[in-house]
Amino acid sequence: MGHGSMHQSASAARTDQPLLSLRNINMTFGGVKALKNVTFEVRPGEVHCLAGENGSGKSTLIKVITGVYRPAEGAIIEYDGDVYPHMSPVTAQERGIQVIWQDLALFPEMSVAENIAFHEVLGRPRLVDYSRMRQIAIEALSRLGITLDVDLPLKEYAIAQRQIVAIARALVGEAKVVFMDEPTASLTQSETDYLLEIVRGLSASGVAVVFVSHRLAEVLEISSRITVLRDGALVGVYPADGMTQSKITELMTGKTFDQHVRARAKDDQPVVLDVRGLGSPGQFEDVSLTVRRGETVGITGLLGAGRTELALALFGMLKPTSGTFSIDGREARFASNRDAIKAGVAYLSEDRLSLGLIQPQSIADNLVIASLHKILSGGLLADDRKRSLVARWIADLGVKIGHQADAISTLSGGNQQRVAIAKWLATDPKLLILDSPTVGVDVGARAGIFDIVAKLAESGLAIILISDEVPEVYFNADRVLHMAQGRIVGIYDPHQTRLEEIEAAVYA
Amino acid sequence: MHSLIRTHATEFSLLGVIVVISAVLSFATANFLSLGNAFDLLNISSVNIIFAVGLLVVLIAGGIDISFAVAASVVQYGTAIALGWIGGGGWLSGFVIAASLGVLLGCVNALLIHRFRIISIVATIATFNIYFGLLMFFTRGVSIYDLPDWLTDRVILFEREMPDGTWIEITLPVLVMIICVVATWTLITRTTIGRQLFAFGDNPEGARRFGINIGAMQFIAFGWLGLMAGIGGLVQAHYAQEVVPNALYGRELDVLAAVVLGGARLGGGKGTVLGCVLGVLLISITQNGLNLMGVSPFAFKMIIGAIILIAITLSNTRLERLLPFAGWKGTRR
């Protein structure tokens, strides 16, 4: 690779002989080249990041390494002294290659012990040895310094603990290299810190970790080297020292993004949303804020700070017990979100996959679902009206689609999010609440989403932008509110405050 | 203990409902709370429990089967005919024939589901119609009464008169039922195959990634239900002392309701043998009690429907799941 000499400080004692080395990896799906002559290597005990946008070939590469896919003729997979033309899942696991899939592939109804020691029920039919499974599970967890009740069904535990269970399972089979696909996607900051600590521990004990993450900050924090893929081809392998988030973004997307503070004072505009002392026990307390016409108010804070709950209250899905809020001067008392929509509030859910869009349905059907009354003709849905409404929004927001009738699941994360935004814009809202609009959206497509947000604000829409990534609200909102433990604890003007100050306050 | 109640909430609440109903019935009727009646109940429920534990395995593996009850009827006919060919036979040959026919019919479902990728409810509704249609067509709806004597004679394994004047008896169906229950319990909780069935029902994609043989899972689950249907069919013929083509028609929904009542989840990965047995017993007890109270049989279905709804609401759901937007509560930490 030629970069070996640049990075030795952390692992001087280790050999630079790769544990895993892939050359000549080509993979084609139905005429589309998913991997083009890719090279990849992992050294023993290193934390290696695999970076790339969605569709860049990261997952495909992992599946080649773990034997799920068979690469085209000519591939060379060298692992721990042996050479393979392709892997098989069984060989990969036997040789100590473990994967923690993004969806974890766990069994929620089964006990923690069974989930961790699942290999004990594989193979030839025999009686189950529960005490052995418990013992294996307890040992694996104690290697991670964790105690869980291994007899409880896994579903009793939150996602962070399930992540731990998945890691414990990977460690059972004497893992030499563990692939982690977006392990932190659904963790809070403190849980993420904890996970990164575990990753460091693994690395110190000689287990190599290949880390795939959208969150570039943690990638830089944890990894020693970064392999960047773009469009199925290798861009390069870089030491993490001296890398910056914007450099990785450039390498991943092949484009440069200049981020600047967009904030503009909107004090002369009429108030659209006026919240006074709003509270809901255990969720948020004494929240007061205003959003003016054309203003974008950012709300940041850790997961669980009450941001989403506040948004749900404004959207009529959660009844506040104290305080009031008004829309355009009229006090809002929403019995349900239908009332909220009627009053001009739109809420883009943080969980696009399961709540925001109906995945198997078409792009067009998803887009019109919240504004069906507009495409009625004589009480029935009119196809031509639907088509023209959809066409208008698709063009307005620059969504790249094949046909309106294609399933929404065929679109990339960024384009899906645009459709989700269009769905709400079609309801003619006065106030648009965007809850974590860039989750699962590629860095490249994120800028496009924020361009849309800016354009919408320009047209007079009042916007609340919720994100746990401070830079997103810092660069894209006119004001930044910091929420912690259900309260607004800080209000910042991006022109007056440095990003680092806000970050320090939020992540403290 | 606390975690036992937590993980077996369904069984505990079912037991609670059974105790409450039994208490009410023992006040309302003179005969309900006697050992004799309790053993009667066990004898009556045996066939349904055999069916239920078979269906449980399919539900755990994430499938559903509508056809097993008419398949049991087909088995009854096939077995009666085959026994005629071999000149009468006996219990052993009877069970071997019935079990093999049952497994065969179950495997037809598995083949349709696995090989031709038909979802289980559609596949088994189709085979339900095919099996029942064939049966009515070939038998022209005629029942068989001239069964071998060994099959129609009651086999009483244990009997005793109680101080209260009632008789307790354990008959062959109860013994067969107990064997089926223990065998199913062993299969799903003690063998690796059983755990694979759970895993497959819980997260099919996860199971696939572990290299679990998906086809084998389908054949084992539906084959096991077929086995239970075959055995249950023979036991039912023994109990009724006749083979009537539509005797079991409609039984599938009663059994399905009982199994779901017992905590098995439509969609897979969840269910216990104990819950399943309690589910069947709850329905039998209610039916029996209504009978003793002299309630019109026409009201039975209605009352049982209501009890199923109440018991399921109590046992199968935590409070937050009863509320709309339950989904997002779960995704939050």
Query: Per-residue pLDDT tens for A133-177?
Result: 999 999 988 888 888 999 999 988 887 788 889 888 888 878 899
A242 and A284 fall within a common domain? no
Contact A494, A475 (CB under 8 A): yes
Can you give the pLDDT at residue A15?
A: 56
- Label each residue of A127-159 as H, E or C: ECCHHHHHHHHHHHHHHCCCCCCCCCEHHHCCH
A140 lies in the same domain as A189: no
Question: What tokens appear for B225 in the block?
Answer: 């239900």
Decide if A158 touches B, using CB distance below 8 A. yes
Most distant pair of Cα atoms in chain B: their distance: 68
> What's the rounded Cα separation, in Å, for the pair A200 and A145?
13
The verdict on B212 touching A (C-beta cutoff 8 Å) is yes
Chain centroid, CA A494 distance in Å:
25
Q: Which amino acid is at A209?
A: V
A131-149 CB burial, b ≥16 within 10 A, e <16: eebbebbbebbebbebebe
Residue contact B206–A355, C-beta within 8 A: no
Residue A59 phi/psi, 5-degree rounding, is -65, -40
Give how far A134 is from chain B: nearest CA, Å: 14
How far apart, in Å, are the Cα atoms of A496 and each of A264, A293, A301, A456, B92? 12, 22, 19, 24, 90
Q: Read off φ and ψ for residue B34, nearest 5 degrees.
A: -135, 150
The more confident residue out of A77 and B307 is: A77
**Residue B267 sits at the chain A interface (C-beta within 8 Å):** no
Q: Does the residue A7 lie in any domain? A: yes
Give me the pLDDT at residue B332, please: 36
**Across A102-106, B101-105, B109-113, least confident range:** A102-106
Does any domain span residue A265? no
Does residue A444 carry a pLDDT above 80?
no
Higher pLDDT, A371 or B6: A371
Does residue A225 sit within a domain?
A: yes
A169 in the same domain as A184? no
Give A161→chain B minimum CA distance, Å: 11
| Token pair belonging to A451 | 């361009």
Q: Do A188 and B333 touch (CB under 8 A)?
A: yes
Radius of gyration of chain B (CA): 20
pLDDT of the residue at B202: 93
Identify the CA nearest to A310 among candidates A346, A280, A351. Answer: A280
Q: CB contact, 8 Å: B223 with chain A?
A: no
Query: Is A320 found in the same domain as A447?
Result: yes
Confidence (pLDDT) at A156: 87
Give the pLDDT confidence score for residue B22 in this predicted structure.
Answer: 87
Burial status of residue A68 (CB atoms within 10 A of its CB: 0-12, 13-18, 19 or more):
middle
From A115-119, A218-222, B26-30, B253-257, the region with the lowest mean pLDDT: B26-30
Q: Is the pLDDT assigned to residue A14 strictly greater than 60? A: no
Contact A105 B212 (CB under 8 A): no
Pairing of strands A376-377, B156-161: unpaired
- Yes or no: say if B100 and B231 are a contact pair by the CB < 8 Å rule: no
* Cα dihedral B37, B39, B41, B45 in deg (nearest 10): -170
Give bridge partners of residue A362 from the DSSP assignment: A407
Q: Which amino acid is at A358?
A: I
* B284 at interface of A, judged by CB pairs closer than 8 A: no
- pLDDT score at A9: 40
Instruction: Using a pLDDT cut of 90, give the percent of chain B over it.
Output: 51
Answer yes or no: are the C-beta atoms of A472 and A461 closer than 8 Å.
Answer: no
Task: Judge contact between A427 and A440, C-beta under 8 A.
Answer: no
Cβ(B171)–Cβ(B157) below 8 Å: yes
Report residue A505 as tokens.
């306050």
Interface with B, mutate which of A101, A118, A165, A336 (most B CBs under 10 A): A118
CA distance linking residue A417 with residue A412, whole number of Å? 9
Tell whether B211 lies on the interface with A, counting CB pairs under 8 A. Answer: yes
**B2-7 contacts, C-beta under 8 A, 24 or more apart:** B3/A149, B3/A151, B3/A152, B6/A152, B6/A156, B7/A151, B7/A152, B7/A153
Q: Are residues A43 and A146 in the same domain?
A: no
Torsion angle of alpha carbons A477, A481, A483, A487, nearest 10°?
-150
Q: B156: helix, coil or strand?
A: strand
Question: Out of B7, B190, B333, whose CB is closest to A127?
Answer: B190
End-to-end Cα, chain B, rounded Å: 26
d(CA A181, CA A214): 10
Beta sheet of A233-239, edge-to-edge order: A82-84, A76-79, A20-29, A32-42, A233-239, A225-230, A47-51, A208-212, A177-181, A97-100
Query: What does the pLDDT average to over A499-505?
Result: 86
Is 60 exceeded by the pLDDT of residue A207? Answer: yes
Which residue among A110, A158, A303 sits closest to B202, beta carbon to beta carbon?
A110
Coil, helix or strand at residue A170: helix
Q: What is the mean pLDDT of residues A467-488?
A: 90
Assigned domain for B41 exists: yes
Read off the pLDDT of residues B39-68 as tens digits, 9 standing for 90 and up: 888 888 999 999 999 999 999 999 999 999
CB-CB under 8 Å, A107 with B202: yes
Q: In what order do the strands lie in the sheet with A431-435?
A: A345-348, A431-435, A462-466, A296-300, A479-484, A487-492
* Residue labelled with tokens 């979100």: A337
Judged by CB atoms within 8 Å, which residues 50-89 of A form the interface with B? 68, 89
- Which pLDDT band holds residue A352 (cuts at 50, 70, 90)? low
Query: Which residues of chain A neighbour B3 with C-beta distances below 8 Å?
Result: 149, 151-152
HEC string for A187-224: CCHHHHHHHHHHHHHHHHCCCEEEEECCCHHHHHHHCC
B138 or A189, which is more confident: B138
Q: Say how far apart CA B92 and CA B73 lie, in whole Å.
A: 19
Contact A107 B325 (CB under 8 A): no
Q: Please check whether residue B264 lies inside any domain of the structure.
A: no
Lowest mean pLDDT among A12-21, A175-184, A358-367: A12-21
Integer Cα distance of A143 and B194 in angstroms: 29
Mean pLDDT of chain B: 87
The whole-angstrom separation of Cα A295 and Cα A264 is 8
Assigned domain for B61 exists? yes
Determine the average pLDDT of the residues in A292-304: 89
Q: Taking CB atoms and an 8 Å limit, are B3 and A127 in contact across chains?
A: no
Residue A130's domain comprises 106-173
pLDDT over 70 for what percent of chain A? 95
Cα A302 from Cα A242, distance rounded (Å): 28
Write down the pTM of the prediction: 0.75
Average pLDDT over residues B242-252: 91
Cross-chain CB nearest to B205 (options A105, A123, A153)? A105
pLDDT reading at B134 higher than 90: yes
Residue indicated by tokens 């943690």: A218
- Between the CA of residue A130 and those of A33, A486, B135, what are the distances in Å? 46, 44, 45
Neighbouring-strand partners of residue A177: A97, A208
**β-strands B167-171, B156-161: how paired?**
antiparallel
Residue scoring higher pLDDT (B183 or B1): B183
Instruction: Tell whether the model's pLDDT for residue A222 goes beyond 80.
Output: yes
CB contact under 8 A, B202 and A126: no
Report if residue B212 sits inside a domain. Answer: yes
**A256 occurs within a structural domain:** no
Structure tokens at B3: 């975690």
Structure tokens at A5: 């000499």
Q: Could you tell me if residue B80 is inside a domain?
A: yes
Domain membership of residue B42 (yes or no) is yes
pLDDT of residue B173: 94
CA distance A253 to A214: 13
More confident residue, A3 or B310: B310
C-alpha distances out from residue A122 to A83, A242, B191, B193, B210, Å: 27, 46, 10, 8, 8
Does A12 reside within a domain?
yes
* Model pLDDT, residue A493: 92
Identify whether residues A316 and A387 lie together within a single domain.
yes
Q: How far apart are CA B173 and CA B111, in angstroms?
A: 31
pLDDT given for residue A52 in this prediction? 87
A325 lies in the same domain as A183: no
Q: Compute the average pLDDT of residues B23-29.
A: 84
Residue A260 lies in a domain: no
Same-domain check for residues A224 and A317 = no
Establish if B189 touches chain A: CB-CB under 8 angstroms. yes
User: Could you report the per-residue pLDDT of B140-157, keeping only the tens digit for each?
Assistant: 888 988 889 899 888 888
Is B205–A68 a contact, with Cβ atoms under 8 angstroms apart? Answer: no
ipTM of the complex: 0.84
Comparing CB atoms, the residue among B3, B198, B205 nearest residue A109 is: B198
Provide the pLDDT for residue A31.
72
Read off the pLDDT of residues A411-433 as tens digits, 9 standing for 90 and up: 777 788 888 888 888 888 999 99
Residues in chain B: 333
Q: CB–CB of A303/A467 below 8 Å?
A: no
Q: Which chain B positions have a beta carbon within 8 Å of A307's beta carbon? A: none
Q: Is residue B10 within 8 Å of B262, Cβ to Cβ?
A: yes
**Number of domains making up chain B:** 1
At residue B249, the 3 state secondary structure works out as coil
Are B288 and B300 a contacting pair, CB within 8 Å?
no
The residues, any chain, with a CB within 8 Å of residue B138's CB and separated by 6 or more, are B77
pLDDT for residue B109? 96
Q: What percent of chain A has pLDDT over 90?
A: 35
Residue A282 at interface with chain B, using a CB cutoff of 8 Å: no
pLDDT for A258 equals 67
Which chain A residues are within 8 Å of B196, Cβ to Cβ? 121-122
Better-predicted residue by pLDDT, B328 or A327: A327
Q: In terms of Cα–Cα distance, which of B315, B317, B318, B322 is closest to B14?
A: B315
Domain that holds residue B99: 32-250
Total count of domains within chain A: 3
On the question of pLDDT at B217 being above 80, the answer is yes
Nearest chain B alpha carbon to A157: B333
pLDDT surpassing 80 at residue A256? no
Query: How far apart are alpha carbons A285 and A311 in whole angstroms?
Result: 13
Q: Are residues A180 and A300 in the same domain?
A: no
Residue B21 belongs to a domain:
no
What CATH number did the domain enclosing A43 receive? 3.40.50.300
CB-facing half-sphere around the CA of B123: CA atoms within 13 A: 21
Neighbours of B322 (CB within 10 A): 10
Smallest Cβ–Cβ distance between B192 and the set A90, A126, A159 belongs to: A126
B94 within some domain: yes
Q: Are the Cβ atoms of A351 and B196 closer than 8 angstroms?
A: no
Q: Taking a contact as any Cβ pair under 8 Å apart, which residues of chain A between 99 and 118 contact chain B?
A: 101, 103-110, 114, 118
Q: Are strands A479-484 and A487-492 parallel, antiparallel or unpaired?
A: antiparallel
pLDDT (0 to 100) of residue A3: 43
Instruction: Tell me the pLDDT of chain A averaged across its residues.
Output: 86
Question: What backbone torsions phi and psi does residue A322 show, to the nearest 5 degrees?
Answer: -140, 160
User: Is residue B23 predicted with pLDDT exceeding 70?
Assistant: yes
Residue B71 is encoded by which pair of tokens? 């398949």
Are residues A242 and A314 located together in one domain of the fold? no
Q: What value does the mean pLDDT take over residues A382-407?
A: 83
Which of B6, B202, B332 to substitute to test the interface with A, most A CBs within 10 Å? B202
Q: Are residues A233 and A365 in the same domain?
A: no
